[in-house]
Amino acid sequence: MPFNARTLALPATIPFVGPEALERRFGRPFLARLGANESVFGPSPLAVEAMSRAARDSWAYGDPEHHALREAIAARLGIRFEEVVVGEGIDGLFGLLAQVALEPGDRALTSLGAYPTFNYHVTGHGGTLDFVPYREDREDVDALIERMRATRPKLVYFANPDNPTGSWHEAEAVRRLMDAVPEGTLLVLDEAYSDLAPATALPSASEIRPNVLRFRTFSKAYGMAGVRVAFVFGAADAVAQFHKVRNHFGVSRMAQAGALAALGDETHLRDTVQRIARARGRLADIAAAAGLRSLPSATNFVAIDCGRDGAYACRVLEGVLGRQVFIRMPGVAPLDRMIRVTVGRDDELDRFAAALRASLAQADA
């Protein structure tokens, strides 16, 4: 076959099985979609209006330089235009990062059980993965620093707040990690949930470092997961490497217009963050009523400890899915003792509560 040996040797990997695939498997639709960390509260009405207007002009390519959106992001963060690149979701930007940073055999360091799509791109571009375990259900900053100093990997991945646990570190711990990055290593800060994090968890955006790239998205608090638009910011010289390989027309005219309008609607963002916080509290109450422990969360989901091992949590998961409620669970022990539930509207959380009770009884039996 006319493909390179690296690709031919890879398994056909799907980092996440979509709810649509599960609906086909079960032969019926989900009645509550609480597994993909989407915002059921939706995008700003201003963003919807802007995308609708842009749709009428979608016979034309969008601006390949994303100029207006990059200017608005830079102004919001207090950084320079040249320090921002826009892309098709954080996952797409991770693919570009692996392309520009990795040579075959280069090492990438991450936490065992952390967001798997980063791993997917590293492997796909010929890199090798190294892991440190979580400590007390959080990424272990000290272990990452120790391993990073010992092995000097090309990339180090750190999510704050974290997926799949919802945990977060304070900004001072993140700065300590940033300060420890050795020459020749690039720190990848995944800040997809930054809009939901405590203000004390995020170093200032103006703290630009030559070896740190920070990734943010419109998929979570802005409610635009289906639009596929995100950005990375960092030192201009580092960010410029993305321009050499990115798909210049990959972010549609509608996506650019919607993201730009969403940035301007601070009221909708603030209201959404409040609704998410309220729903997180409701999920914690549901877990407690079922005799389970929920982890503190600074995201739009809650990780719930099922109290046993991965096999038991998997039975609970399958029971909830079979009751037409879509949720997920971490795939790596010991995090696989949990299920992960995205926040939802009250009626969706009611449905989850009922499905959880029934599934626990079934799993115990």
Report pLDDT digits (tens) over 174-190: 999 999 999 999 999 99
Yes or no: domain 5-42+267-364 corresponds to CATH 3.90.1150.10: yes
Distance, in Å, from the CA atom of 65 to the CA atom of 123, rounded to the nearest integer, reads 29
Burial track 64-90 (b if 16+ CB lie within 10 A, e otherwise): eebeebbebbbeebebeeebbbbbbbb
Domain span(s) for CATH 3.90.1150.10 in the chain: 5-42+267-364
Give tens-digit pLDDT for 323-364.
Answer: 999 999 999 999 999 999 999 999 999 999 999 999 999 999
Question: 345, exposed or middle or buried, with CB in 10 Å at 0-12, 13-18, 19+?
Answer: middle
Quick: pLDDT tens for 224-256.
999 999 999 999 999 999 999 999 999 999 999
Q: What percent of the chain has pLDDT over 70?
A: 100
Which CATH number describes the domain made up of 45-265? Answer: 3.40.640.10
Residue 1 banded pLDDT, cuts 50, 70, 90:
confident
Whether the per-residue pLDDT at 9 is higher than 90: the answer is no
pTM over 0.85: yes
The CA distance from 325 to 309, in Å, is: 22
- Where do the CATH 3.40.640.10 domains begin and end in the chain? 45-265
> Is 2 a residue whose pLDDT tops 90?
no
